[in-house]
Amino acid sequence: MEGDGRISRRGLIGGGVAGALGASLAGAAGTQAKALSGQKQTPATQNADVCVIGAGISGLSAARALVKAGKTVVVLEARDRVGGRCYSVPIPNSNNAVANMGATFVGPTQSDVLALMDELQIDKYPVYSTGKLLWYENGSAKPYTGTVPPLADPAAELELGLLLPRVDQMAKSVPAETPWTAPNAASLDAETLASWTNQNVVDPNARKLVALLMEAILSVEPADLSMLYTLWYINMAGSIETLVGNAGSGGAQDFLVQGGTQSISEAMASQLGDRVLLNNPVRRISQNANGATVYADNATVTAQQVIVAMPPTLTGKIDYEPQLTAMRTQLVQRMPIGSLIKTIAVYDEPFWRSQGLNGQVTSDTGPVKVVFDASPPSGSPGVLLGFMDGDDARQYDDADPATRQAAALKSYVNYFGSEAGQPRWYQDHVWAQELYTGGCPACITPPGVLTEYGQALRQPVGRIHWAGTETATVWMGYMSGGVQAGQRAASEVIQALR
Amino acid sequence: MEGDGRISRRGLIGGGVAGALGASLAGAAGTQAKALSGQKQTPATQNADVCVIGAGISGLSAARALVKAGKTVVVLEARDRVGGRCYSVPIPNSNNAVANMGATFVGPTQSDVLALMDELQIDKYPVYSTGKLLWYENGSAKPYTGTVPPLADPAAELELGLLLPRVDQMAKSVPAETPWTAPNAASLDAETLASWTNQNVVDPNARKLVALLMEAILSVEPADLSMLYTLWYINMAGSIETLVGNAGSGGAQDFLVQGGTQSISEAMASQLGDRVLLNNPVRRISQNANGATVYADNATVTAQQVIVAMPPTLTGKIDYEPQLTAMRTQLVQRMPIGSLIKTIAVYDEPFWRSQGLNGQVTSDTGPVKVVFDASPPSGSPGVLLGFMDGDDARQYDDADPATRQAAALKSYVNYFGSEAGQPRWYQDHVWAQELYTGGCPACITPPGVLTEYGQALRQPVGRIHWAGTETATVWMGYMSGGVQAGQRAASEVIQALR
């Protein structure tokens, strides 16, 4: 899966630091140890200044910043791979093209991840955007250009044109660092995006499009989201347009990552070398006046400080000694993660392009309601990437793979005709089935949580610091937020180690 | 703590079944084994028809029903005691009076727990209700009788008088078994109790009282609750009046349990004998075509069927092999539990009674906003039981005990004068700090969850069945619901074993 051939590993930080910290990356990955009780080997104990838990883009960014600052680090990763929600698989017989089964795009204002990619010499390339998008409504597909699809109901289109700037304006009043201090925070956090929309959007078709936008962004339904959270999320990205804009519009979907998004984590892991221990789900973290001890399935790490870089909902699975604060314990009961299935269909050529289409679709009909062209720069093979979000994902999360594939391809055929039903390769990824993620793309907060528990989100508990994209203050929920959060946690720890 | 002197253990089911199932209750309790990785003994493997996880009132009810049906059972309990959210501590020098730090009352319509108490020959006695209640508002206490307190704002009182029957009527339309099939389920589940109240209750003082009622019932704020969940919860209890009624009104607060609520679980555990293994947090459940294996810290149990009788939010901490359905995995990310601190103050005599007061208080001022007289039948000592709920609890969840005590007693003094500030004994219990409960009284659902995931709440996953009061359909959230859910899970399992 992680064939070195397709990923360029350039640049090296702290290259001279010897591998004094135990089993090498390759060695640990090779063990493939199972975590069954009663079958454990006695884990080796290692010592470092800092133990980082989670080798996604956030944890690895933290580890990298710490190594740069001269600290010793061990990274414990539960899976047999790095990257977390960034997971890229090679497309067979495709001249090293990859399919991103999780995080996919980067945008021009995502400066933290772009700077990291520059350092790692990982390139990006524009998502294909020549030609028209498709809006599929009531069973027929309509080509269009611009941001708002050509809704059959012109009143809805008009209302949306007024609504979106209004919401952007509201979003600006929600501070990224402390959303609970926003004016009207209590009342905004007392309602859902759905109830707010029901009060503030007249046209039911406009409401439907609001739902569609939020499903596409967070893979949840408007009923799931605190209105305060929604505005906060928008503000951390800049605007609704920045979040949902078409490829080429300056938003979050402008670029694809050469070699796939996972290659960013792989490049960092390669630099960190044997500091990264795979196959090590962490079960317990203890801390006292002298330091902390992290117990994983195949390693025990003693450290002065710990960075936990996981989706908040999963941090509740670890045992802590002493227990965390009640505020933190209850917060993570209240940060569920969305329901997302990514589907990839590969064709010999991007046949839609010759029809004047750029492969982007927005649709009122599931299960795949959003599609992008995710082909490599050469345009061969042709790759379509489709999202099942929220209710659509729930309908197929526990379905058998053949049923899911048939449902996805039916959507592709709706949009691009019968040719789309015969991909030469299909793959999907059900994030709600991922034990070490729990869903995708990011943890949300239902009403009440930000105002009641928000202060516990980034607050360290003793020697334990929190990273992961959910703790970011810029582009939270994205790779860029993960990088920012990891670097911020590293700064906290460097301060604490002084 | 569990002195046998204060708890009558009468009645015995399956008394002739020998203790073939491993370490005795006392023996296991004596081990006090720690769960630190790397320090484990190899756990003994035991076999039974059914493994029940959780020795609260629900799990023990399930185990008892199974033993009655001739099945072999092992119960694994994480704590060093049984009872879960029922936790009764002896009041020193009080002739065996106890303080209930968790579940406290039973009501006349809670037939499942009442029948169980009858079988176990555990008595109840009426909560003292002679004399007047107190309504504390804007800094002064006003004695009253009846259900709705004498609000300073008569318009609010009037509006509440109209509102509560209307909500009761709405509640009746939400089916206990399948709340997601209620008429308007989607729209009711798209908003919070807070947003519904903001739309449907005009007077801000009436809104405040709605908040106060729900805080008292579920230890959360109106912003936290799906309106659909709120109505469902009311319907499963009967009515708002049944939920919040004063002692003596036929509601949930009519009776106290002789010997404390924990004695119900202790009596069942005594009957089950060495089938109950304490100090056994469960880490992993595996299942295949032949059976299931449950891995706990000090025992491994193989069984044909498994009943998990824990708050849903905590079931997400266990590893499952194979993984549970995505629906179940994501459901339990979405069922947080309330924030409740119970405070107990003990005085030589119930001095408030001689002032014509029955000890019941409702207040607009925290941190203790609801108080009951929880004295033993003899009236000596005098015991006040006060609740810190929701925001009030969060303010003191992580405070040092002295600060919390001072804040609680300040409330008591507000209501009953300076004498109330000098209890001869004080104790409180912060449920959000309880590792094996996570909060109190019961898991709730924010908006969206019931309609999106409700079907996964009781749905067995292979050999795993779900108990715990959150899976009840009558008096969900109460001891009675726990009993009903346990018995229902046992019936499912008996069916499956055929």
Q: From CA A430, how far away is CA B329, in angstroms rounded?
A: 13
Q: Which of A198, A300, A316 sits opposite B317 (nearest CB)?
A: A316
How near does any CA of chain B get to the CA of A20, in Å?
A: 22
Mean of pLDDT over chain A: 92
Test A452 with B391 for CB contact under 8 angstroms: yes
Confidence label for B246 from pLDDT (cuts 50, 70 and 90): confident
Whether the CB-CB separation of B167 and B241 falls below 8 Å is answered with no
What pLDDT, on the 0 to 100 scale, is given for residue B123?
98
- Burial (CB count <10 Å: 0-12, 13-18, 19+), residue A491: middle
How near does any CA of chain B get to the CA of A281, in Å?
A: 11
Distances (CA, A) of A368 to A205, A255, A406, B306: 19, 21, 11, 37
Test B394 with A452 for CB contact under 8 angstroms: yes
Is A208 in a helix, a strand, or coil?
Answer: helix
**Third-level CATH fold of B22-85+261-336+444-497:** FAD/NAD(P)-binding domain (3.50.50)
Test A316 with B319 for CB contact under 8 angstroms: no
- Tokens 């009953």 locate to B416
Give the whole-number percent of chain A exceeding pLDDT 90: 89
What pLDDT, on the 0 to 100 scale, is given for residue A13?
32
Q: From CA B160, how far away is CA B201, in angstroms rounded?
A: 8
Confidence label for B238 from pLDDT (cuts 50, 70 and 90): very high
Instruction: Please say whether the structural domain A155-214+225-244 has been given the CATH code 3.40.50.1110.
Output: no
Q: Which of A40, A195, A432 sits opposite B190 (nearest CB)?
A: A195
Test B336 with A330 for CB contact under 8 angstroms: yes
CB-defined contacts A:B, below 8 A: 185
CATH code, B154-243: 1.10.405.10
Mutate to test the interface with B, among A210, A330, A394, A452 (most CBs of B within 10 A): A330
- In tens, the pLDDT along B425-438 reads 999 999 999 999 99
Q: Exposed e or buried b for every residue in B33-68, given b needs 16+ CB within 10 A?
A: bebbbeeeeebeebbbbbbbbbbbbbbbbbbbbbbe
Query: What count of other Cβ atoms lies within 10 Å of the Cβ of residue B289?
Result: 6
Q: From CA B340, how far away is CA B431, in angstroms rounded?
A: 6
Test B295 with A36 for CB contact under 8 angstroms: yes
Q: Is A150 left (phi over 0), alpha (psi -120 to 50) or beta?
A: beta
Our CA angle for B282, B285, B287, nearest 5°, is: 160
What pLDDT, on the 0 to 100 scale, is given for residue A41?
54
Test A451 with B223 for CB contact under 8 angstroms: yes
Mutate to test the interface with A, among B37, B230, B293, B394 (most CBs of A within 10 A): B37
Alpha helices (runs of H) in B381-478, residue ranges in sequence order: 391-397, 401-416, 449-453
Is B37 in a helix, a strand, or coil?
Answer: coil
Closest CA to B156 of B194, B124, B202: B202
Q: From CA B399, how far away is CA B465, in angstroms rounded?
A: 38
Confidence label for B29 from pLDDT (cuts 50, 70 and 90): very low
Q: From CA A296, how far away is CA A53, in angstroms rounded?
A: 10
What pLDDT, on the 0 to 100 scale, is given for residue B146?
84
Closest CA to A396 of A431, A447, A444: A431
Closest CA to B223 of A185, A220, A496: A185
Predicted complex ipTM? 0.91
Mutate to test the interface with B, among A188, A195, A214 (most CBs of B within 10 A): A195
Test A224 with B448 for CB contact under 8 angstroms: yes
- Tokens 């072999």 locate to B72
- The DSSP H or E segment spanning A205 is helix A204-218
> Strands A124-126, A73-76: parallel, antiparallel or unpaired by DSSP?
unpaired
> Strands B45-53, B300-308: parallel, antiparallel or unpaired by DSSP?
parallel
Residues of B in contact with A286 (CB under 8 A): 36
Q: From CA A394, how far away is CA A262, in angstroms rounded?
A: 26
Mean of pLDDT over chain B: 92
Residue B2 has pLDDT above 80, yes or no: no
How near does any CA of chain B get to the CA of A436, in Å?
A: 11
Test A326 with B190 for CB contact under 8 angstroms: no
Q: Given this structure, which CATH class describes domain A124-147+251-256+338-440?
A: alpha beta
Tell me how far apart the 2 most distant CA atoms of chain A are, in Å.
67
Residue A146 has pLDDT above 50, yes or no: yes
Whether the CB-CB separation of A362 and A149 falls below 8 Å is answered with yes
How near does any CA of chain A get to the CA of B333, in Å?
A: 5
Confidence label for B245 from pLDDT (cuts 50, 70 and 90): confident
What's the mean pLDDT in A94-114? 97
- In tens, the pLDDT along A411-456 reads 999 999 999 999 999 999 999 999 999 999 999 999 999 999 999 9
How near does any CA of chain A get to the CA of B12, in Å?
A: 35
Give residue B255's Cα distance to chain centre.
15
Test A192 with B323 for CB contact under 8 angstroms: no
What pLDDT, on the 0 to 100 scale, is given for residue B44?
77
CATH architecture of B90-103+124-130+251-257+338-433: Alpha-Beta Complex (3.90)
CATH architecture of A4-85+261-336+445-497: 3-Layer(bba) Sandwich (3.50)
How near does any CA of chain A get to the CA of B210, in Å?
A: 14
Q: Which residues does A164 contact at the CB level (< 8 Å), separation at least 6?
A: A148, A240, A241
How near does any CA of chain B get to the CA of A125, in Å?
A: 34
Test B221 with A452 for CB contact under 8 angstroms: yes
Per the model's pLDDT, the better-predicted residue between B161 and A27 turns out to be: B161
- In tens, the pLDDT along A262-313 reads 999 999 999 999 999 999 999 999 999 999 999 999 999 999 999 999 999 9
Closest CA to B453 of A397, A387, A217: A397
What's the mean pLDDT in A485-496? 98
For chain B, give every domain's residue range: 22-85+261-336+444-497, 90-103+124-130+251-257+338-433, 154-243
Q: Exposed e or buried b for every residue in B292-328, given b needs 16+ CB within 10 A?
A: bbbbbbbbbbbbbbbbbbbbbbbbbbbbbbeebbbbb
What pLDDT, on the 0 to 100 scale, is given for residue A44?
77
Test A394 with B189 for CB contact under 8 angstroms: no
Residues of A in contact with B324 (CB under 8 A): none
Q: From CA B314, how far away is CA B68, in angstroms rounded?
A: 28
Q: From CA A184, how far away is CA A167, in angstroms rounded?
A: 14
Test A447 with B446 for CB contact under 8 angstroms: yes
What's the mean pLDDT in A322-330? 98
Closest CA to A215 of A365, A112, A352: A365
Our CA angle for B293, B57, B437, nearest 5°, is: 75
Confidence label for B19 from pLDDT (cuts 50, 70 and 90): very low
What pLDDT, on the 0 to 100 scale, is given for residue B43?
65
What pLDDT, on the 0 to 100 scale, is given for residue A42?
56
What's the mean pLDDT in B12-17? 31
Helices A227-237 + A204-218 axis angle, to 10: 60
Q: Which of A190, A317, A391 sits opposite B194 (nearest CB)?
A: A190
Test B329 with A451 for CB contact under 8 angstroms: no
What pLDDT, on the 0 to 100 scale, is given for residue A214?
94
Q: Which residues does B192 contact at the CB level (< 8 Å), separation at least 6?
A: A190, A191, A192, A195, A447, A448, B222, B223, B224, B225, B226, B227, B446, B447
Residue A206 has pLDDT above 90, yes or no: yes
Q: From CA A305, how far away is CA A384, in angstroms rounded?
A: 43
What's the mean pLDDT in A29-41? 37
Test A317 with B313 for CB contact under 8 angstroms: no
Closest CA to A466 of A322, A312, A317: A312
Residue of A nearest to B320 (CA): A435
What pLDDT, on the 0 to 100 scale, is given for residue B42?
55
Residue of A nearest to B41 (CA): A38
Mutate to test the interface with A, among B184, B192, B284 (most CBs of A within 10 A): B192
Test A447 with B448 for CB contact under 8 angstroms: no
Sign of the torsion angle spanned by Cα atoms A95, A99, A104, A105? positive
Residues of A in contact with B286 (CB under 8 A): 36
Overall pTM surpassing 0.80 (yes/no): yes
